[in-house]
Amino acid sequence: MLYALYIIVAAYSPRVFLFFILLLTDWVPRAYETIVWPFLGFLFAPYCTLTYMSAMLSNDRQMNGWWLALFVFSAILDVACLIATGAQAVSDGEDRDD
């Protein structure tokens, strides 16, 4: 039951989930060799960062099979979120009467 809550929080707010993972666990240093990639992932691709970390921790540090498919899906989701955010910013800028 608790894992379902983790998945719901991660899907709804991946950056908050990553922040708490960084503070409360040692998963980030175990999954990544440097802090650069998790930091960039936190800023630009949080779903990919979470997926990669999960694959490295639970799949013997390999990205294959279902983990690879999930990673591709999370990359598409990250790009879709970036596009939606950009479209929202453009539409907010067009609504202003200067």
Residue 85 pLDDT level (bands cut at 50, 70, 90): confident
The string of pLDDT tens digits covering residues 50-61 is: 999 999 999 888
SS (H, E, C) 67-79: HHHHHHHHHHHHH
Q: Distance of alpha carbon 48 from its chain centroid, rounded?
A: 4
- Tell me how far apart the alpha carbons of residues 93 and 79 are, in angstroms, rounded to a whole number: 21
Give the CA radius of gyration of the chain.
16
Look up tokens 């910013």; give the residue: 89
What is the pTM assigned to this prediction? 0.82
Structural tokens at position 76: 């598409």
